[in-house]
Structure 1
């Protein structure tokens, strides 16, 4: 039977009804299956068939920051590099080789050029990287 959230008859499938007393199969369409922790301590605090949202572990992107004069001489790709995100103040610019990285609305420069750490996650930070998933009990049938 497909795990698409469909109901089933407990009279027709009594053993399946023992595993799923709601008489409804889990809906696993488009979900990753994550083995149920069951007391191991790796993914504790979750119940069987509990859905979990995606998560991205907190991390930092490094960006170069130029300020003041001499920008054109230092950056010959200005205007053509898809990684250039925004200009700040009088001639300053933030550059990264990653397109689409979120940049804060203001930066504090410490000198004329340097590498600065920016928390650029854009939200949904967690303690691990994981896709959206369902806790599932893997079972091996021994006969």
Structure 2
């Protein structure tokens, strides 16, 4: 247990998103999944093809601009995805061990 956080074992209660976790099992650390996109005109983003790490580029598209964007005509898409460089999950958590706490009434 050295170097691990204690996480109360939920015994199937649904609080821990990892279903079927056994008592004393170790769960690796993770960052909550984050994704997003930015859209701009092709002329405004000349170096986007060099995107690395959590960033990647989409393709130039004529028309068919997402409705949430104010860009019109051809555009370039810049995507963000944390899972490209880190373990991701539905929650942010440290390395932890499922532990059963026993409480005695005095």
Q: Give the structure 1 partner of residue 8 of structure 2.
A: 35
Bigger radius of gyration: 1
Larger RCO: Structure 1 or Structure 2 (Cα < 8 Å, ≥ 6 residues apart)?
Answer: 2
Structure 2 distance, partners of 1:45, 1:53, is 15
Q: Give the structure 1 partner of residue 36 of structure 2.
A: 61
TM-score (structure 2 length as normaliser):
0.59
In structure 1, list runs of 5 or more residues that go unmatched. 1-26, 72-90, 95-99
TM-score (structure 1 length as normaliser):
0.47
Q: Is 2:89 the counterpart of 1:126?
A: yes
In the comparison of the two structures, how many residue pairs are matched? Answer: 88
In structure 2, list runs of 5 or more residues that go unmatched. 62-72
Could you say what the CA RMSD is over the residues aligned between the two structures, in angstroms? 2.9
Q: Identify, as 1 or 2, the structure richer in strand.
A: 2
Q: Which moved more, 1:33-42 or 1:122-131?
A: 122-131
Q: Which 4+ stretches in 1 moved above 3 angstroms?
A: 61-66, 110-114
